[in-house]
Amino acid sequence: MKAKSIILIGIMGLLFSGCLVKSLHPYYEERDVVFKPELLGSYMDADETAWKISRYSFSKGFMKGDSIDNSYLVEMQQKDAKRVSRFNVHLFELEGINYLDFAPIREDRDEVLMELHLVPAHSIAQIEIISDNEITISWFEEEWLTDLFKENRVKIAHEVITYTDELEPTQYVLTAGTSELQKFLIKYGKTKLPAECDEYNSVSCTTLKRK
C-alpha cells in the first residue's frame, strides 16, 4: 500500500505532558457522532511512536460476545516503552467542524492505590481531512485556556488544581456539562487555524505516516 501521511497537531507531546484542555464530561452528544473508516490503520510518528487506530468494541457481558461501537480505539506506544496507552476516541461534527474526543481506557495495573486516585478526563481536538493522504488535527491546549480565564474572556464551570511541587503547573479542569462544552466549542472552535498552527500557542505540530 502506498504510504499515506497524516499531519497531527500536538498529539504525543500534549497527551503525555498534561497540557491539554481537560473535561470531566464528554464534548459530544450521541447524535453528533460520525465514523470515518478512512482513519483506520497503523502509523508511526517522527519520534517513532507507533499508533494503531481501529474500531472500538466492548463486551456486552458474560457469554454475549462483543459489540462494535461507533468510535475508535487509539493505541499508542512510545519507542522502547513496554506499556501501550489506549484511548476511546469519538469523532463528532458540530456546526460544520469535526472534533475528536479522547477518553483514556483504564487498565488493570499493579499500582492499585494509585489507580484509585486517578479520574479519567476527556480532551478535545479539531480534525480536518485535507485530502486522501493528509489529515490535520488541532488540539485545544491548556495554556490557551489559562489565558482565556486570566483575561476573563470565558465563563465556563471549572476547577483549578494546584500542586505543592513548583515544577507542576496549575491546571484547569472543565466541569461543565456537554451542552455548555459544545457552546464553548462553537464560540471558540472556528478561531482555530490548523494550517497555520505554528503561529498559535494553542497548537503544535507533528507528523504521522501510515505503515
pLDDT value at position 44?
75
pLDDT value at position 201?
42
Global pTM?
0.80
pLDDT value at position 101?
95
pLDDT value at position 170?
75
Q: Are 37 and 132 spatial neighbours (Cβ–Cβ below 8 Å)?
A: no
Q: Of 36, 23, 51, which is closest to residue 206 (Cα–Cα)?
A: 51
pLDDT value at position 199?
40
pLDDT value at position 138?
78
Distance between CA 43 and CA 72 in Å, rounded?
A: 15
DSSP assigned state of 95? T
| C-alpha torsion sign, points 82, 205, 101, 118 | positive
pLDDT value at position 202?
44
Q: Are 44 and 67 spatial neighbours (Cβ–Cβ below 8 Å)?
A: no
Average pLDDT for consecutive 10-residue bins of the chain (211 residues)?
A: 44 55 94 93 79 82 58 90 89 92 77 69 84 73 85 91 68 93 88 47 58 78
